[in-house]
Every structure is written in structure tokens, then in C-alpha cells.
Structure 1
Amino acid sequence: MRILRAADYRSMPWKNGGGVTTEIAVSPASAGLDDFDWRVSMARVELSGPFSQFAGIDRTLAVLEGEGIVLEIAGYPPTSINRATALFSFPADVQTSATLIGGPITDLNVMTRRSRMTHSVERLSISTPVEIRTEAGTTVILCLDGEVIVPAAEPVRLGALDTLVADPDDASLLVQPIHEATLFMIRIGGISGND
């Protein structure tokens, strides 16, 4: 398994230059904004305005901090997203704009290249140990808040915004919260055997 610490994440301008994104993990590791297979990132949205477009990419968005946003996506009815709503998935290559509901937000973005990869994202609030089954492909666990311990040869402790990327041969991971914790579990798989 790989452990990615919040302090080590890379910050960069949005593709459209309208803000700053914090890249948590990307594949391939050297990929840029136009050639990744998958990417997990966070963005601070300070102002209402357009989203960057990514050709051939599917995206899932969740609000991590702030009151929320209303997304206006070409071909979809306006959609309000906040910390209590379900995650929202949509194509990243259609015209999209966001209106802030009550000030700046921080969001989580999971993106995969449609021709090669698929993804799913689940938010988990845990107060007791939970076993997370890993599957073919890549499993990414982001600790949003609280702290968790993952037993291993050397136990791993994840704090707020730290991330674990499971090895493909890990059958499952036991995640033990210290008090309570909120996790995002991201599963990324290949299409037609491309894991």
C-alpha cells in the first residue's frame, strides 16, 4: 500500500486558470491534465463560474467544506450539491458552471478516462472498525476527518485528508477509527481488462 500525506500533495492552477487544485493522486504518476487515466484531487472554489472541461473524462464531485454549489450542466437540470447530498457524477467534457450557495467551498473530484477506466465513489462515516474489500483495479481511501488506523506489518495511521492507495493484491483492509471518522472510498477499474 502507498500512503499519501496531505502535506505532500501538489497544488497547481485549474485547467481553465480560474482557481487552484490540489492533486492527491494521478495515474500514470507523471501524467498532466490532458493525459491522465485517472485523477483524484480537491479544489477550492472561491467564486461562481465555469468548470474546466476535460475531453473524454467522467467526473464525480463531492462537497467537502462550505455550504455547497448549484451545478448547471448542459443537458441536465440544475443540481444542488452540499455535504449532506449524495455524490454527483457527470461527464467532464460538457459545458458546466457552478453557483456558490453561501461562500467558498472545497470539493473532491474523481476523474477517469471514459475509454479506459471506470470509477465509483462512496462516502463512509464510521465509529467502529470496518473491513473494506478491495477489488481488481485500484482502491483509494481518503480520510476526510478524524483519524483511522490500518493494521499492517507496520500499522498505518491516517489523519485528516491523508490517503491510502491499496495494492492490487490486498484482498481487504481493516480500517479502525479513533473515535469517529469520515472516509471516501474510491474504486477505479479498467475497461476490457485494462486495470
Structure 2
Amino acid sequence: MARLMAIRLIKAAEHRRMPWKNGGGETVEIAVDPQGASLADFDWRISMATVAADGPFSAFPGIDRTLSILDGSGMVLDIEGRTPVRLTVDDAPLHFAADVATSATLVGGPITDLNVMSRRTACSHGVRKLRVAGTERLTSDAETLIVFCHRGNVRLTTGNDDARLSALDTAISQVSGDMLLVSEAPADVFLVEFGKA
């Protein structure tokens, strides 16, 4: 991704809809690197999906993923080699290998999740949930920082650039250092940081 601007804004209307890798549903692609990459050759990818039935996850060789619940009652994840994990909107994002057999059982109807994936040989990632009420100052040394606005409205300022995000909008910054998140009313955001492998 070219470093032409401090912040690149992706509006919710720009998201790309596409089928799941295993054909079991539809995913909404928020951002991918390199831009235009397919499910087979991305370095990192952020997407949303509605899960309406129990079943297996798509397998992605060489990929790590972090899953967060955006809406719904949650689900229980059965990840090979681990104790089953119940994941709800109140829980921290869950990090696990995307090439390990994983299946989901819904707790109480359909859910919408946020899925962050990175190729182990290309980069690593971390995901944090944050409630912004007023002004939050952040410092990040990530090569790429992404702010996904789940609910509410928030303004992101870094350097001389700023971006105003409404629900489901995303800002991508490739300038490390300090930044401000400002919201007049409480807003829920996810911070995704991509760094070296």
C-alpha cells in the first residue's frame, strides 16, 4: 500500500461482498493488503461476516486470525487442541490459528463477527476493543494501524490529517506515533495493528 497520505478512509458503502472460502455464507471485506488480493494471496485482511448456522470455519493455511463478536448472543468455538471457548460481544478479541480445524456453535441465533487475518510469513497483528468517550490519545509503532468504528462516530487525528468515521467506517494509517480519537458521545472502535512477522 503506497504511503501517500497519513490516513486512508474507507466508508461502509465501499465494502466488498464475496462468498466464504468454503461457500457456507457471505463475507463483507473491509480492507485487504495488497489491495485487490484474493483469499489465496493476501498479506492481511479484515472482514465482517454473519454466521446464521452452526458449522466449520474455512481453513487458511499459514494464516493467523482474531475473531470478535459485533452483534448477537455469541458462539462457542471448538478449536482443535484447545478447550471450547464461548465468545460474546463482551469478550476480548480471540486470537487463534486459521489453519487449525475450528467449528462454531451459535449460542442464541445469528451473529455478526469481525475477522482479522494475517499471513505469518508476511506480518503479525493484534486487535483491541476500545470505548471512546471524549478524547483518547494513542501511541502505536505499528507499520499499519487500522481503526474500525463499530458504533457511534469518532474523529481520528494523526499528524496534519484527520478522518471522521461513522458506524462501520474504517481508517488506515501508516504513520506511527501519537494519534487522537475524539467522540462527543460514546463510540465503540476496534484498533488493529499490523507489524513485522
Q: Calculate the TM-score normalised by the size of structure 2.
A: 0.92
Task: Name the CA distance, whole Å, in 2 between partners of 1:87 and 1:150.
Answer: 22
Residue 176 of structure 2 is aligned to residue 164 of structure 1 = no
Match of 2:189 among 161, 180, 183: 183
Aligned to 1:31: 37
Report if the CA contact (8 A) 1:136-1:189 is conserved. Answer: yes
Question: What is the correspondence of 1:76-115 to structure 2 with a 5 Å cutoff?
Answer: 76-115=82-121
Q: CA deviation at 1:178?
A: 2.3
Deviation at 1:172, TM superposition (A): 2.1
- Say which SS state the counterpart of residue 13 (structure 2) adopts: helix
Separation of aligned partners in 2, 1:60 and 1:175: 23
2:3: which partner in 1? none
1:54-96 deviations in Å (ceiling 9; x for gaps): 0000000000000000001111111100001121111000111
Retained in 2: the 8 A contact 1:141–1:165? yes
What residue number does 2:10 align with?
A: 4
CA distance in structure 2 between the aligned counterparts of 1:90 and 1:155, rounded to whole angstroms:
33
Tell me how far apart the structure 1 counterparts of residues 190 and 10 of structure 2 sit (CA, whole Å): 14
Kindly report which structure 2 residues correspond to 1:18-167, keeping only aligned pairs within 5 A, or say none. 18-151=24-157, 155-167=162-174
Number of equivalenced pairs: 190
The 2-side partners of 1:118 and 1:101 are apart by 30
Q: Residues 20-68 of structure 1: CA distance to partner in whole angstroms, max 9, x if unpaired? A: 0000110010210011100011111011101000000000000000000
Cα RMSD of the aligned pairs, angstroms, is: 1.3
CA–CA distance in 1 between the matches of 2:30 and 2:88?
21
One-letter code aligned to 1:162:
D
Q: In structure 1, what is the Cα distance between the partners aligned to 2:188 and 2:14?
A: 21
| Unaligned stretches of 5+ residues in structure 2 | 1-6
Quote the offset at 1:151 in angstroms.
4.1
Q: Equivalent residue of 1:29, what SS?
A: coil
Structure 1 residues without counterparts, runs of 5 or longer: none
Conserved in 1, the CA contact under 8 Å of 2:123 and 2:196? yes
What TM-score do you get using the length of structure 1 for normalisation? 0.93
How many angstroms does 1:156 deviate by? 2.3
Shift, 1:126, TM fit? 1.5
Letter in 2 for 1:122: R
Q: 3-state SS of the aligned residue for 1:76? A: coil
Structure 2 counterpart SS, 1:131: strand
